[in-house]
Chain A
Amino acid sequence: MNAPEMTSTRPTELPSSRTSANLRKRQAAQKFGFGLLWLASLVVILILLVVVGYVFLTGFKSLSWEFLTTAPKGGLSGEGGISTTILTTIYLVGLILVIAAPLGIGAAIFLIEYQEQTKTGGKFLRGLLQAANFGVETLAGIPSIIFGLFGYALFVSTLKFGFSLLSAGLAGACLVLPTIIRTTQEALLTVPVSLREGSLALGATRWQTISKVVLPAAIPGIITGIMLSVGRIISETAVFYVTLGGSYRLPNSLLSGGRTLSLHLYYLAMDTNAFEKAMGTGAVLIVSIILINLVIDLISRKLSAGVRQNQ
């Protein structure tokens, strides 16, 4: 900070007070700006705390073992618990994953692992690959109510599955397909090419290489994608609002309707005055999302630890 002394020996000296005034002004501006940025992040945390805190505090009163294990009884006061809606959510998650996981993982494998084959494989395959990539991108940008509308038009009406687990499951599978494809693609891309080359050089076929070398290495990333989809299904409401019917009874077949947790919350909020029960349902939803985030975090931490080891 003895710069002013040094400049004083020069003939065209800058008035030192002006330089430092400028610097001081900019530093003050920086302090102010950083203060605002800290404040903004504080506001974000505060929003989260207020929303989650409010839901937990008001929902807490209705949360009990009994609430979780008794069936809802319907009616204006929203009697009963949420047991059937928890089960319906689990059924639907299972059904959607059974449909979408093999399709999505298979599509991703094809799009990544057979890329160079399609480069040499003629116009048809190349076009198909491009179209599929474009399809995934488009699907990811479509609002969920459009999936609902589509599910209603095709599965509920045209194919006459009615408002049912099956209709909702198929529409939901379309909804999460891009998530699964994209995360699997990313997971496959992180597997080093040298592993594939080593396996192929040892005489393994392409499928042996994929199933015994590439997929095992990509599993954590694929599981992350599946967990993300589970979270998406649990929180999705619009698609199921127009395909699942909304009966609070437990579905007894693929062709009977039902109500997921988030749908139940919606009906409680709109059609009953059981706000506390709605909040309790919301608390259950938030807890399950937190658990899913924790699992994803755990996997990605393990994954980055593994990468560090490889290096």
Chain B
Amino acid sequence: MQTKLRVDRAVRTILLISASFSILIVVSIFVFIFRSSLPAFREIGLQGLLGELTWRPTNGSFGILAMVVGSVMVTLMALVIGVPLAIAAAVFLAEIAPRGVQAVVRPAVQLLAGIPSVVYGLFGMVVLVPLIRRIPVAGNSGYGLLSAAIVLAVMILPTITSISEDAIRAVPRSYKEASLALGATHLQTIFQVLLPAGKSGIVAALILGIGRALGETMAMIMVIGNSVILPSPLDDNPLTIFLSQARTLTGNIAVEINYASGLHASALFATGVVLFVLIMVVNISAHAILNRSNSAA
């Protein structure tokens, strides 16, 4: 009995230590990335990092504004392309797909989620980029925001679909029955009862999607062109801004970290901090929006 209890206590300590590891990792990620970015913030300054467009490490220019704009733009475009499709698929799976069709669509969504990002990047390079290059605009290389946004839209689609589907399914059955009993059609019920009731879950799905989009690295490097320029129209037509090349924050880190040193490396860690802050801002503002609309209702 004594030894059993001793074993029990020892095991408890071991388990406690492993639970502490997740805290330790989070803390050390913060410490390492912030500490390594300190020289950049001190020597280049917030103004020099976030207020400047020129990124030329060899000349001492470390402006990452163009990359912030690149990341945000490609994410917004991917949302515009991907979200309607993703939520439509979620509604379809939760409400109107016959069982047999569900058994085809759901694994398909699951597989889309599992395909490695480099495979999407490769597909983008080989299929999408040549296709978009055909748009006759001077300076259009095919690589750029549009190609990247389409690839990204496909990559965030499964995340948004599966979480939104869960959110729609979680709406109490009585809501739907009440709406149908009042004479609303199924479609009216979906758009006026189920989607509003499942809003918080759907917003959570969007947040995850945005986080995934902002954090995607390799596929973006492969199709966005990686030039450090502020996206701008290629000719008089303002729509050609979507054909402009760009670089994302993530791409900036991945492409340069392996050979960077000194202030250059520190500026890349600062890029990581900015990326992190961007994702936090998305999370916090989404929660704020949700809370406000909940208390208003």
Contacts and interface: CB of A to CB of B under 8 A. Distances in A.
B25 A135 contact: yes
A60 B129 CA distance: 22
B36 A153 contact: yes
A34 B211 contact: no
Contacts of A38: 92, 96
State the main secondary structure of chain B at its contact with A.
helix
Given A40-B89, A235-B116, A135 B96 contact: no
Interface in A176-207: 177-178, 181, 205-207
Contacts of A235: 114-118
Interface in A258-302: 262-263, 265-266, 269-270, 275, 278-279, 282, 285-286, 289-290, 292-293, 297
Contact of B15 (A106, A143, A145, A263): A106
A44 B259 CA distance: 40
A132 interface: yes
B175 interface: no
Contacts of B89: 40-41, 44
A69 interface: no
Interface residues of B, number: 83
State the main secondary structure of chain A at its contact with B.
helix
Contacts of B38: none
B4 A205 contact: yes
A40 B254 CA distance: 35
A153 B33 contact: yes
A146 interface: yes
Contact of B18 (A106, A144, A146, A266): A106
B110 A293 contact: yes
B253 interface: yes
Interface range on chain A (Cβ under 8 Å from partner): 35 or more
Most buried by B among A141, A146, A148: A146
B111 interface: yes
A128 B16 contact: yes
B18 A141 contact: no
B28 A154 contact: yes
B4 A208 contact: yes
A187 to B, nearest CB: 16
Given A51-B154, A107-B15, A145 B93 contact: no
Contacts of B217: 143-145, 148, 237-238, 241
Interface string B1-36: 000110110011011111111110110110011001
Nearest to B260: A152
Contact of B117 (A48, A237, A290): A237
A139 interface: yes
A238 B108 CA distance: 25
B119 A44 contact: no
B105 A41 contact: yes
Interface string A95-107: 0000000111011
B137 interface: no
Given A55-B119, A146-B29, A241-B254, A110 B218 contact: no
A1 interface: no
B242 interface: no
Given A41-B92, A135-B22, A275-B126, A269 B15 contact: no
A142 interface: yes
A103 B15 CA distance: 8
Nearest to B119: A282
B187 A34 contact: yes
A47 B120 CA distance: 11
B122 A282 contact: yes
Interface in B106-132: 107-112, 114-123, 125-127
A128 B19 contact: yes
A58 B84 CA distance: 31
Nearest to A103: B18
Contacts of B125: 269
8 contacts: A26-B187, A34-B187, A36-B88, A44-B157, A45-B104, A114-B12, A286-B119, A289-B115
Interface of B: 4-5, 7-8, 11-12, 14-23, 25-26, 28-29, 32-33, 36, 84-85, 88-89, 91-93, 96-97, 101, 104-105, 107-112, 114-123, 125-127, 154, 157, 161, 185-188, 190-191, 211, 214-218, 221-222, 250, 253-254, 257-258, 268-269, 272, 275-276, 279, 283
Given A37-B92, A129-B19, A205-B4, 7 more contacts: A107-B19, A110-B18, A145-B254, A174-B25, A242-B257, A279-B122, A282-B118
